[in-house]
Amino acid sequence: AEEIWNYCNDKLQNNPDFSARGLVAHSNVTALATTDDPLDTLEWHEALAADDSFKTKVYPAWRPDKAIVIANDIFPEYISKLSAVAGVAISSFKDVCSALAVRMDHFDKHGCRASDHGINGVTYAPATTEELDAILAKRLAGNSLSQKEIDQYEYNILVFLGGEYHKRNWVFEIHIGAGRNANDRMFAELGPDTGYDYIHPHS
């Protein structure tokens, strides 16, 4: 077993054919998509697009979960970061939508053609503009929401996003019932949604 371990590590460290790029090239991958948060600069996509030595096309995929799951502890801080990156002051539901649209335009210019959503489900929960603004203000102030308020925000933001995807001819991809962040050690080291997911037994 140790001989195999050492042999494989030597290949990975010293043979260009076994680098990440080498493995992609030898697998005849013509295009691949990464998973990217609306806050991402996409600078590495720009670098790859300008690199003629790497023939595989690499495109971003839009993953806006942190702007959707309003009950998450990080939501208020995330909306503040979204505001800064998009250059849109956010104090209403419409502002959140405007900021996300700005970032979608940025992704679209970098070749994005697909969204990627990890959600447990969607409950039909229409709401007025006034209700949505009140829900957002309550959450940004650090207060907890009722299940109805959570459902109203998440349903309406998904409806908005679906319309925007249609305008841009993007795929609306949904992962329903995924268990997240199963590895506590890697969650502490890397944060949420970094690849340690599984099919939830209740899905």
pLDDT, tens digit, for every residue of 91-108?
A: 999 999 999 999 999 999
Residue 198: pLDDT band by 50, 70, 90 thresholds?
A: confident
Cα separations (Å) of 101 from 13, 41, 124, 134, 151?
42, 15, 23, 21, 21
Q: How confident is the model at residue 203 (pLDDT cuts 50, 70, 90)?
A: low
For residue 126, the SS3 value is: coil
Instruction: Return the DSSP state at 145.
Output: -
Average pLDDT, the chain: 93
> Are 89 and 83 a contacting pair, CB within 8 Å?
yes
CB atoms within 10 A of CB 5: 9
Contacts (Cβ under 8 Å, ≥6 apart) of 39: 78, 81, 82, 85, 103
For residue 21, with 0-12 CB atoms within 10 Å meaning exposed, 13-18 middle and 19 or more buried, which class applies? Answer: middle
DSSP run (H or E) holding 57: strand 57-62
Pair 139, 81: CB distance under 8 Å: no
Query: Of 7-21, 67-81, 189-203, which one has max mean pLDDT?
Result: 67-81
pLDDT at 173: 93
Report angle CA 140, 65, 193 to the nearest 5 degrees.
115
Q: Is 173 helix (H, G, I), strand (E, B) or coil?
A: strand
∠ CA(175), CA(66), CA(63), 5° rounding? Answer: 50
Provide the 3-class DSSP secondary structure of residue 60.
strand
Distance, CA of 51 to CA of 32 (rounded, Å): 15
> Is 137:96 a contact under the CB 8 Å cutoff?
no
pLDDT tens for each residue of 109-143: 999 999 999 888 889 999 999 999 999 999 999 99
